[in-house]
């Protein structure tokens, strides 16, 4: 019974991972298709603890944090906007530092949706998570069906 519940939990977890990644990909391709270019400045970093990264840390170390850059830019109409980039890096890596100039593409209809030009990790990570989520969810479904018989 416990194993069946674990399989169901894994199915839900991996399915959620695939859905969230697929959503991020739709945002990425929407911006890529109809977005406009702008010059932005990294105005700050938003810290986030990731459960999977935290599980990999040892008990006596501080849990590693992820940072999402907060980008401030001026759109084509001259309005100043701030957006939290959906991509991230490990805190302390140094790619995203406050004050750094970055080239972005933003969605004119949703200025809070941006992509940083040159960040290939975001696109690749989303595809990888979406595909792996689907594969692992399918494996868990098969395991669950096998346990029913």
Give the model's pLDDT for residue 3: 79
88 lies in which domain range?
Answer: 2-148
Instruction: Give how many domains the chain has, as a whole number.
Output: 1
The answer to whether the pTM exceeds 0.75 is: no
The answer to whether the beta carbons of residues 82 and 43 sit under 8 Å apart is: yes
Give the model's pLDDT for residue 67: 85
Give the model's pLDDT for residue 110: 93
List of the chain residues with pLDDT < 70: 49-64, 92, 120-121, 123, 149
> Which of 74, 75, 53, 72 is CA-nearest to residue 64?
53
């Amino acid at each position: 019974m416990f194993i069946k519940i674990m399989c169901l939990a894994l199915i839900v977890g991996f399915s959620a991972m695939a859905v969230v990644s697929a959503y991020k990909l739709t945002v990425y391709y929407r911006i890529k298709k109809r977005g406009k270019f702008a010059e932005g400045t990294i105005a700050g970093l938003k810290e986030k603890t990731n459960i999977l990264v935290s599980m990999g840390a040892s008990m006596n170390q501080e849990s590693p944090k992820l940072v999402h850059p907060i980008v401030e830019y001026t759109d084509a109409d001259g309005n100043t906007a701030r957006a939290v980039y959906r991509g991230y890096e490990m805190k302390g890596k140094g790619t995203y530092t406050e004050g750094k100039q970055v080239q972005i593409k933003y969605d004119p209809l949703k200025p809070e949706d941006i992509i940083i030009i040159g960040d290939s990790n975001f696109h690749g990570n989303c595809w990888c998570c979406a595909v792996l989520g689907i594969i692992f969810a399918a494996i868990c479904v098969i395991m669950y069906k096998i346990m029913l018989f």
